[in-house]
Amino acid sequence: MDYGDYLETAAAQLARAHAILRQPRPPDPAVRASAALARIRLYRSVERQVVAVGGVREADLPQRGVVPDRQRAGGNQTAAANLATALRYATAHSITASEGVGNIPPIGPAAVALHSAHQALQIAGDILISNTGPYTGPGDDHQPSTADGIALLAGVGRENNLAAVARLAAAAADMDVRLARWLWPEEAPAPLGRVLAAAEQDAWQTKNGSLRNDARTIVGLGHGAQAPVRALAIGPAVDDPHRWASPASLQECVAAVDAARAWLTRRGDDLTVQQVVRVATAAVGITRSVGHVQAHTTGTPALDELAATTARPWRGVLEFANELRSPVPDRGNLSTLTAAMSGVATWLQGQLRPAGQWADPPRWAADEAARSAWRTGTAQILSRMPDLADQLHDATLRAHGRGGVLTEARRLIRRPGQLIRATHWVTAPPEHPVFTELLGGLRAAGTATRALAARADVAERPGVGAAAALGAPMSPAKLAGQWYPQSPAEPVERASRTRSRAAQLQGAPQVKRR
């Protein structure tokens, strides 16, 4: 499941809670108090999404449990900051009243529905963190883990992303209209009576406050259904190349391409020329394969020829990279980048060209369901290839900057009675023709792949190119400090729990707090 699936799950549970609140209120005050406490967690989860996708700074928000002064907060607030402030305001009294009550488990259908919505949003938040990098405590930076995370932090598609999460804020505010009459704190024993009275006050103030208007305004400014964040999946682990070397399905191929892109984001400074050779080799086969499938599943034969044209810049990259070296030995496919890309190319060739010739479409797409799956899967791969080319270009440029690109040089050695021509490798100067052709080839590969995706009506997956178009710095650390500031009010313990959840979702070892 991706981020959008969890948003839909939360929306469905909110709708369920809204329907339950139409029924008579339960006589047991513990049941109503359980719903009031679940409401606090729900609002905090929605706020977390708004802060993450809206680029809201903690300094722009009031302290938790304190009713914010909207005038003091400043009239220059962004729409996202206004919405996050209103969400925090929605639980201001409840947070104070709930202190000392303890952790009451969800009791009754209303509390269960609100708790389920909260849990779905917690997982959605973990997906965001696995891409943007977790917050590790005061003084530490977020480190983006994927190109999708870089694009999110830079604000690519922000209006649509905010519209997708603001819909939940509007639904929560609509629920409060019924909840305000449902809590009924009268005759409830303390401290449940205090919790119910505070929640009732918060719900009434939400009903009459700006939350619904703020949320609906943001929903109207964007197209939530088209939000790029909806397609975000858990950030892939990149430490085990063998995990991605042998994909067995189209969806595993998509995940493998994402893993290759994530490796470039996290380990791009380790790129070698030999790895560029392997990636370019794989990219030629992948481009031809996805173009062939798109041509036969969309009824657009021209895409097959266009894919062959698109593969030419990758062949040029392969030719120029083969004339260069890196000052480290070739380790084969012992990186997630090369293992994943080679694995995808091999699997596609085995399905589409098992004997070196294109197989008839009925062999790999026997019915309409299979054709649809192939069309969707190859479109997802194609949407990621432009960002792969962009990241490969940037990483190659950085490799050259640290002396990691060598070119062949020859010199004459004089010996008694002999004149020997010796070959050795030296650092390539920035203006070296082969190196400049390599960079130009990678740029051309990105441009050609974008053209193929546009011709196939495939939306490009946001990445470093889209972030750069908004003026974002390409260093993940600089990007984190500028677009995703620290939130000093959040305790380190919660950050540790977040890292552990993200590690579990990735299948990586948990990071323990010292």
Tens-digit pLDDT profile for residues 222-277: 999 999 999 999 999 999 999 999 999 999 999 999 999 999 999 999 999 999 99
Q: Tell me the pLDDT band of 207, cut-offs 50, 70 and 90.
A: confident
Do 125 and 99 lie in a common domain? yes
pLDDT score for 419: 66
Residue of 28, 111, 47, 136 lying closest to 491 (CA atoms): 136
Residue of 240, 237, 209, 246 lying closest to 91 (CA atoms): 209
Do 273 and 222 lie in a common domain? no
Do 379 and 497 lie in a common domain? no
Count of CB atoms situated within 10 Å of the CB of 367: 9
Report the mean per-residue pLDDT for the chain. Answer: 86
pLDDT score for 205: 87
The answer to the question of residue 514 being in a domain is no
Percent of the chain residues past pLDDT 90, beyond the cut: 65
Do 54 and 156 lie in a common domain? yes
pLDDT score for 253: 97
CB burial of 420-439 (b: ≥16 within 10 Å; e: otherwise) equals eeeeeeeebeeebebbebbb
The answer to the question of residue 477 being in a domain is no
Do 369 and 448 lie in a common domain? yes
Q: Please state the pTM of the whole predicted model.
A: 0.84
pLDDT score for 422: 64
pLDDT in tens, 129-185: 999 886 544 433 567 899 999 999 889 999 999 999 999 999 999 999 998 889 888
Rounded to 5 degrees, φ, ψ at 427 are: -60, 130
Do 263 and 351 lie in a common domain? yes
Do 367 and 424 lie in a common domain? yes
Residue 320 has pLDDT above 80, yes or no: yes
The answer to the question of residue 511 being in a domain is no
pLDDT score for 141: 52
Do 303 and 412 lie in a common domain? yes
3-state secondary structure of 409: strand
pLDDT score for 421: 67
Residue 482 has pLDDT above 70, yes or no: no
pLDDT score for 103: 75
Cα-only R_g, the chain = 27
The answer to the question of residue 512 being in a domain is no
Least confident of 71-80, 302-311, 428-437: 71-80
Residue 474 has pLDDT above 60, yes or no: no
Residue 125 has pLDDT above 90, yes or no: yes
Residue of 467, 416, 426 lying closest to 157 (CA atoms): 467
Do 247 and 201 lie in a common domain? no
Domain hosting residue 137, numbered range: 3-232+484-506
- What is the pLDDT averaged over residues 24-40? 91
pLDDT score for 334: 84
Q: Tell me the pLDDT band of 64, cut-offs 50, 70 and 90.
A: confident
Residue 475 has pLDDT above 60, yes or no: no
Do 82 and 211 lie in a common domain? yes
Do 228 and 249 lie in a common domain? no
Q: Tell me the pLDDT band of 446, cut-offs 50, 70 and 90.
A: very high
Count of domains observed in the chain: 2
* pLDDT higher at 42 or 505: 42
Helix (H), strand (E) at residue 451: helix 433-455
